[in-house]
């Protein structure tokens, strides 16, 4: 249930079918597993419009399933109001961050953060695995997201 002290996090990538759904699913699970589900509103979205309405890429779904991360959302595109609604908007790489900054309205409330900056192993860039011909990049995205979401949540609990 949303209340005045609900914290809001939005995960962004280019297409919202590979990296940001994994990061969103992982953060939802991390928050639930730490008993804080009622304190967070969590979503993900795309910078581009190509995949709006689609399920995640099957490789993202497979990786989430293999780690018991439930996921049923479909892709949507980021909109101006997201910058006023969310407290934290996460990009996956430097290109995402540049584009988020470019689209951010002057009076935006959201802190724009690169998810990889929370990685205790210092692997800062969550690389786009969409054009890969296997699923290793998706598993890597899951592992990075898991480490980063844990550290971020510890800092904001």
**Among all residues, which ones are annotated catalytic?**
13, 19, 128
Task: Name the minimum Å distance from CB 135 to ligand 4NP.
Answer: 13
DSSP 8-state class, residue 72:
-
How many angstroms separate the CA atoms of 132 and 128, rounded? 9
Interacting residues with ligand 4NP (CB under 6 A): 13-19, 50, 128, 130
Task: Name the minimum Å distance from CB 83 to ligand 4NP.
Answer: 19
How many angstroms separate the CA atoms of 156 and 60, rounded? 27
How many angstroms separate the CA atoms of 75 and 49, rounded? 9
Angle at alpha carbon of residue 72, lines to 70 and 78, rounded to 5°:
120
- Closest residue to ligand 4NP, judged by C-beta, is 15
- Of 119 and 128, which CB lies nearer to ligand 4NP in the complex structure? 128
- Of 9 and 126, which CB lies nearer to ligand 4NP in the complex structure? 126
Task: Name the minimum Å distance from CB 60 to ligand 4NP.
Answer: 8
Instruction: Give the number of other CB atoms < 10 A from CB of residue 102.
Output: 8
Taking a C-beta distance cutoff of 8 angstroms, is the pair 105, 82 a contact? no
DSSP 8-state class, residue 45:
E
Task: Name the minimum Å distance from CB 94 to ligand 4NP.
Answer: 13
- Of 7 and 55, which CB lies nearer to ligand 4NP in the complex structure? 55
């Amino acid at each position: 249930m949303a209340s005045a002290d609900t914290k809001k996090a939005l995960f962004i990538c280019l297409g919202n079918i590979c990296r940001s759904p994994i990061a969103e699913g992982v953060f939802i699970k991390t928050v639930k597993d730490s008993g804080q589900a009622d304190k967070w509103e969590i979503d993900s979205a795309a910078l581009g419009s190509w995949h709006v309405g689609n399920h995640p890429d099957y490789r993202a779904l497979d990786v989430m399933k293999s780690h018991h991360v439930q996921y049923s959302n479909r892709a949507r595109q980021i909109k101006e109001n997201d910058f006023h609604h969310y407290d934290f908007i996460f990009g996956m790489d430097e290109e995402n961050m540049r584009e988020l900054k470019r689209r951010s309205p002057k009076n935006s409330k959201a802190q724009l953060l690169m998810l990889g900056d929370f990685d205790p192993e210092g692997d800062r860039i969550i690389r786009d695995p969409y054009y890969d011909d296997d699923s290793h990049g998706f598993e890597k995205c899951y592992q990075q997201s898991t480490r980063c979401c844990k550290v971020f949540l510890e800092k904001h609990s």
